[in-house]
Structure 1
Amino acid sequence: MDIEQVVNLFQKLNKKEIKASKLGWTQYTTGFDLGIEQAYQDITAFLEDEENFRIVCKHKEKELNTIDKRRMEIAYNIFEPFHKNKLINELNLKIRRKTNELSQILNTYRFTIDGKEVTSVEIDQLLTNEDRNLRKKAYFSRNQINKVLIDNGFIELINLRKELAKAEGSMDFVEYMLKKDELSPNIFNGWKDELKNHINKLNNKRKELAKNYIDADELKPWDEEYLKNIISPSLNTKVDMTNYYFVLRDFFLNFGINMDKYNITYDIFPRKNKSEWGYNFRIEVGKDSRVLANVKNRYSEYKTLLHESGHAIHSFLQDPNEIILNEGISGIVTEGIANLFGSFIYDKLFYKYFFDDSVENEFNKIKEYEKLNYLRFIGNIFFDHELYRNNITSLEDIYDIYYKVYKDLFGDKPLEEEPPFGYRIHYTTHPIYMHNYFMGDVTCEMLRKVFCEKQSVDNITEKPTEFIQFLIEDVIKPSGLYKYEELFEKISGEPFSLKWYF
């Protein structure tokens, strides 16, 4: 291989990343930091090493085949930011330290309602309660973390990221992150206009449902989970989650995937000092993947397990020897595959393990509504962008931006209390990332339609094993070879467009 020296570099880098990922798993599952900052400093030192970068640059200039050229493009993009100037390296170190400090706070923080500590899982369940005042109280309990984050340097973190973007020569941090993810800087241009009619349809639908189901003029944020429970009460059905693995294993066997062959670790029940979000830790591709979740015996919670298991299985369907190409896989592709498996919670292929066909009608209704209502998630995406496009000096500035975004997009009015935003950990640990979920869903819908057209079927569940082969051959294998927009067009035959979602 013409680039063997570079491959050897990435094997060494991969070992350092595995160590950091294992330490991240420990922090997120126990609350203990056993040396994450040092692990990331070791990675940074390796990437800053002049000799390592010289090797990359030397091989990048060689006459290479198409695949090795792509490998070298990815390698160069990873090393090059650490060899611009000292300021950029110092800023990256400060950002990493502050992010780690705030993520530690987020992972161990617990909300309270009426003086009693509650978990996020319990809040989720309270949001399905008939008592609207209790739902409202549960919803606003999540704003308790906002000030804690500000007091501990959230605005400082935003400003550090703005400084980094400026030092990198980007217009703003949004553009910087899109470039880093190999996405066009104009990828979001036109979204508001393109979605306007669909959002009008959503707003009308929400008013109709509020009137019909809760005798109210409008649907408030604390009504949404309750409404879903009314449309589809089976979602709130109590189930025994202790046998979750066997359910997941049997489901994935429908696709010819035997989870018993994979080294997937699960940690799914809540406890003190454990992160209350859902994650997949890709410790080592094809060898070690770990799923963190928080469930409490509700059928709806399987959606998270399906999503995170989708991430884990994706890791095992990749080639572990393609260390460099695997670094080039877009987050949109990974989230799209995970979302695809998460969506099966409404499909007979999965719900047959819990219900008979009597749930089909309600699941079809809730699936249709959730797909439309998911447009509101775009508010999170654009709010994240605006944090880096406005001058922020206080928590009130953040609230002003929040309300402006949601007013412009959906016509929302300000809430009676401070809007919960800080509890969503992405703003702190994964900025300018949330578009991966929505664009992943667009990709997911495109893959469904392309496969069904090729196979002359109405649903991918008619040929599940063939679908997995399509996913492996047309999506997973080539996904590192192409930038996301190139891959999307290669599969669909058209440039990326939101039209595939509808």
Structure 2
Amino acid sequence: MERLLNMSRELDKIQTNLSKLAWVQYTVGYDFGIEEAHKKVNEFMQDKKNYELVLEYKEKSLDPINKRRAEIAYNYIKPYHLSNELNELNLKIKKKTNELSMVLNTFRFKLDGKEVSSVELTQILSNEENRELRKKAYFARNQINKSLIDAGFIDLINLRKEYALLYGDKDFVEHKLKLNELSPTIFDGWKDELKLHIDKLNNKRKEYAERFLNCDEMMPWDEDYILAKIAPAQNSTVYMSNYYEVLRKFFLKFGVDLDKFNITYDIFSRKNKSEWGYNFPIQNGVDSRILANVKNKYHEYGVLLHETGHGIHSFLLDPEEILLNDGVSGIISEGIANLFGGFLYDEMFYKNFFDNSVEKEFKEIGEFKKLNYLRFIGNIFFDHELYRNDIKSLDDIYDLYFNLYKDLFGDKPFEEEPPFAYRIHYTTHPIYMHNYFMGDVTCEMLRKVFCQKHGIKSISEKPMEFGEFLISDVIKVSGLYKYEELFKRISGEEFSLKWYLE
């Protein structure tokens, strides 16, 4: 097995360099050779000697762990040995994706002629009493739609469609799911399950609209404002200068010491820096970096908890197990991150800033956010529909958007252009957003399984034991099994939305 492991180490060095270049692009907006780095990855993958080595091990009679290593290696190298046309398309896709990510990372919105950051828009949406001004801030996000289209977003979609068909898959959605070792039918029952909860969701939104807006309809530009009304404490000013010590003390409760990990934080906004939050697992167990954008508000700790969850996950993987680490599902990764992000409203974390007077409002906001998060399924299916429809123009995308949200939630179309392109995933990480929602389903499953096993109601009753459970039963084995197999191994049941909905 040593020859295959050595091959994976060589590839890891090349990919580590690519990750470092991506970090630079996302933090300061400079491209120091990402396209060339992608070419090096492609050359390595296309090397026939490497492919023959993988095939040799795939055909061997191996123990289960080595068989899984060989399977993972085969899955990632196979696409590079089907045809030259596919390889050329792959390079075109990466080149166009890189071009568009530069547009996204350096674009800045304007409000009333003045440049504003995404963080500032979020603060307006949370704090502004004037509904029309909130609406204006919400639709400022659509300013990037045309810029992204003009730079070739539809071309990128079509390249991906072409690649999937040439590969032999039904469409790009099915192609990505297969690459991620998920059943192509995994979403088949979601719309029906969602319909059972739409009335409850819409009634709760109507209830809050009547309570806080004196009207019967909550619009997207009202959501952050209403959340701030439910729990004003989440918008409290806090000082981020000691963010690391706050995070370190919190994670110690789970037996995890951040001081032992080489995690770099870049958390304050600046020009040409991506306005999203990311974890860059430069090299598992060696180097992890976190990008965020904060302006001293309590709710921004949610991003830091989430991304630190990613960093911890990265460092709790064995750096020598490069192949098995490549087999870790994005759902597990996002699930662990979401799990820790969810502690924002838990006393275990908020007692660093507040007394128990916030308990009621934090419980209420947590319950509503969980219910309202069902609307995120719209983002997941919109991503899918981009690859299942013939799109020739920006208007086609808007029609698709409005029809989908009407079908799923009964929404009426806006008079304005819907913001969509600002969500970077559609460009850089297509057919990925399900990882967040399925990660939350996984969180709920892990909580329920652990609490049932220990006869408790909350993880906070036994955080140290939960940390041990998470490390031993989830993280350490997460590369050994495909996601659906791991889910069933832990829960005893097939994956289902019921873990989240019930």
TM range (shorter): over 0.9
2:108 aligned with 1:102: no
Displacement of 1:348 after TM fit?
Answer: 0.5
Q: Which residue of 2 aligns with 1:77?
A: 75
Structure 1, gaps ≥5 residues long: none
**After superposition, what is the alpha-carbon deviation per residue over 1:177-230, rounded to whole angstroms, capped at 9, x for unaligned?**
000000000000010111112121101111111011111120010000000000
Letter in structure 2 aligned against 1:298: K
Give structure 1 regions of 4+ aligned residues with deviation exceeding 4 angstroms. Answer: none
Please show how residues 34-49 of structure 1 align to structure 2 within 5 Å.
34-49=32-47
Separation in 1 of the partners of 2:41 and 2:192? 42
Displacement of 1:116 after TM fit?
Answer: 0.1
Q: Which residue of 1 aligns with 2:499?
A: 500
2:465 aligned with 1:462: no
**After superposition, what is the alpha-carbon deviation per residue over 1:344-399, rounded to whole angstroms, capped at 9, x for unaligned?**
00001000100000000000000000000000000000000000000000000000
Separation in 2 of the partners of 1:357 and 1:253? 22
Please show how residues 133-172 of structure 1 align to structure 2 within 5 Å.
133-172=132-171
Separation in 2 of the partners of 1:200 and 1:19? 49
2:27 aligned with 1:21: no
Q: Which residue of 1 aligns with 2:451?
A: 452
TM-score for the superposition, normalised by structure 1: 0.99
2:406 aligned with 1:407: yes
Separation in 1 of the partners of 2:16 and 2:310? 17
Separation in 2 of the partners of 1:286 and 1:354? 31
Q: Which residue of 1 aligns with 2:264?
A: 265
Question: Per the alignment, in what secondary structure is the counterpart of residue 307 of structure 1?
Answer: helix
Question: Per the alignment, in what secondary structure is the counterpart of residue 127 of structure 1?
Answer: helix
Separation in 1 of the partners of 2:351 and 2:203? 33
Please show how residues 246-395 of structure 1 align to structure 2 within 5 Å.
246-395=245-394
**After superposition, what is the alpha-carbon deviation per residue over 1:127-156, rounded to whole angstroms, capped at 9, x for unaligned?**
011111110010000000000000010000
Structure 2, gaps ≥5 residues long: none
Q: Which residue of 1 aligns with 2:436?
A: 437
Separation in 1 of the partners of 2:320 and 2:383? 35
Q: Which residue of 2 aligns with 1:239?
A: 238
Please show how residues 177-216 of structure 1 align to structure 2 within 5 Å.
177-216=176-215
Question: Per the alignment, in what secondary structure is the counterpart of residue 280 of structure 2?
Answer: strand
Letter in structure 1 aligned against 2:383: D
Separation in 2 of the partners of 1:252 and 1:484? 25
Displacement of 1:242 after TM fit?
Answer: 1.2
2:2 aligned with 1:10: no
Letter in structure 2 aligned against 1:431: P
Separation in 1 of the partners of 2:449 and 2:85? 47
2:142 aligned with 1:113: no
Letter in structure 2 aligned against 1:166: L
**After superposition, what is the alpha-carbon deviation per residue over 1:65-124, rounded to whole angstroms, capped at 9, x for unaligned?**
011001100000011100000111011000000000000010000000000000000000
Letter in structure 1 aligned against 2:116: V
**After superposition, what is the alpha-carbon deviation per residue over 1:420-464, rounded to whole angstroms, capped at 9, x for unaligned?**
000000000000000000000000000000000111111011111
Separation in 2 of the partners of 1:130 and 1:355? 25
**After superposition, what is the alpha-carbon deviation per residue over 1:233-276, rounded to whole angstroms, capped at 9, x for unaligned?**
00100110111111111111111111111100000000000000
Separation in 2 of the partners of 1:263 and 1:495? 36
Aligned sequence identity (%): 67
TM-score for the superposition, normalised by structure 2: 0.99
Q: Which residue of 1 aligns with 2:216?
A: 217
